[in-house]
Structure 1
Amino acid sequence: MSRFILPAAALLFFIFESIFANLFSGGLFGSDRIYVPRFIMVFIAFLTIYGTKRTGVLYALVLGICYDVVYTEILGIYTFLLPALAYLLSKTMKVLQSNLLVAIFVTAFFVGLLEVADYQMNVLIHFADMGYQKFAEIRLLPTLLLNLAFIILFAFPLRQLVEKYETKLDTI
């Protein structure tokens, strides 16, 4: 039964990200800021940091495919970006310590990388027409602040969840 905990948590984060985006959109509060929840990236980052690289990249690939199919018009962007960032994150954490404070800042940095890479891909295929300065002001900074708050709130429980159930998966 414990082998279903991490997939269930992944599904929960996947669904919660969509619900959060719909309920707390910038238009709701009369703001022109765009708050993009990247809870899936946070989950993948903690899987990669406190679990294994293999698990992090595998979940990133599956969640990236799901994200592309459900939420985006272009298939392949998240299918490529999420596993690539999980792999880079695993290489980064080989150099850094994996304590909770470092994990929080590294995860926030990789959320920012995901957001910038997503923006660059949309500019490349002419889906986005705003300049980088406007993107940074309207979307990147609010997204980083929202996700940093989420990371701080859920860092300890996520770390405990991954450490507990990732080790159980290795023994099965």
Structure 2
Amino acid sequence: MRKYLLPLLFILFFILESLFVQTLPAEVFNSERILAPRFLMIVILFMTLYGHRDQGLIYGLVFGLLFDVVYTEIIGIYLFMFPLIAYIASKLMRILQSNIVVVSVISILSIVLLELGVYEMNYLINVTNMDFSLFLNQRLFPTIVLNVAFIIIFAYPLKRIFEKYAASLRED
């Protein structure tokens, strides 16, 4: 039973992103800002940094493909970016301390990297015509604020879940 809880957690956050976008549109805040929840990416990062790195990369690959299939018209952007960013974060954490503040900052920087990568890819293939300053003001900064709020609320519980998971893997 316990081995099914981790995939269910990832599926829950995958669905939570979609529900968040559908229930809280930008009109609620009376602005044209685009709030992009990256909750799944944050959970993948916490899994990679506090749980098991290889499994975090596999979850990044699987859910990146799922994200591409469900939400985007171009297969491969998230399939490539989720595991790449998780891998880069895991390499950074070999240099830095793995306390919750550093992991949270790395998560926010990872979200920025993800947003920039997706924007640049969409700009290169002419899916978007938004210039960079408009992207910064309307999408990147509101996305950072939203995901910082998510990290403040969920960082400690996610850390505890993945540390327990890593401990259970060591016992088996």
| Structure 2 length-normalised TM | 0.96
Distance in 2 separating the partners of 1:109 and 1:62: 22
Q: Post-superposition shift, 1:3?
A: 1.2
Determine helix, strand or coil for the equivalent of 2:163: helix
Q: Post-superposition shift, 1:53?
A: 1.6
Q: Post-superposition shift, 1:56?
A: 1.1
Cα shift readout 1:64-112 (whole Å, capped 9, x = no counterpart):
0110111110111100110111111110111110001111111011011
Aligned to 2:151: 151
Distance in 2 separating the partners of 1:167 and 1:66: 28
Aligned to 1:9: 9
Q: Post-superposition shift, 1:5?
A: 1.5
Q: Which runs of 5+ in 1 are unaligned?
A: none
The answer to whether the 8 A contact 1:3-1:168 is kept is no
Cα shift readout 1:21-45 (whole Å, capped 9, x = no counterpart):
1111212332100000000110011
The answer to whether the 8 A contact 1:46-1:158 is kept is yes
Determine helix, strand or coil for the equivalent of 1:129: coil
Q: Does 1:45 align with 2:49?
A: no
Determine helix, strand or coil for the equivalent of 2:62: helix
The answer to whether the 8 A contact 1:2-1:165 is kept is no
Aligned to 1:105: 105
Distance in 2 separating the partners of 1:5 and 1:99: 25
Distance in 2 separating the partners of 1:80 and 1:72: 13
The answer to whether the 8 A contact 1:85-1:114 is kept is yes
The answer to whether the 8 A contact 1:35-1:142 is kept is yes
Distance in 2 separating the partners of 1:138 and 1:61: 28
Question: 1:20-169 counterparts in 2 under 5 A?
Answer: 20-169=20-169
Determine helix, strand or coil for the equivalent of 2:22: helix
| Structure 1 length-normalised TM | 0.96
Q: Post-superposition shift, 1:171?
A: 4.1
Distance in 2 separating the partners of 1:15 and 1:118: 20
Q: Post-superposition shift, 1:51?
A: 1.3
- The aligned amino acid for 1:135 is F
The answer to whether the 8 A contact 1:5-1:165 is kept is no
Distance in 1 separating the partners of 2:162 and 2:133: 37
Q: Which moved more, 1:19-28 or 1:72-81?
A: 19-28
- The aligned amino acid for 2:10 is A
Determine helix, strand or coil for the equivalent of 1:62: helix
Cα shift readout 1:119-162 (whole Å, capped 9, x = no counterpart):
00100110111111110000000000000110110000000011
Q: Post-superposition shift, 1:2?
A: 1.2
Aligned residues: 172
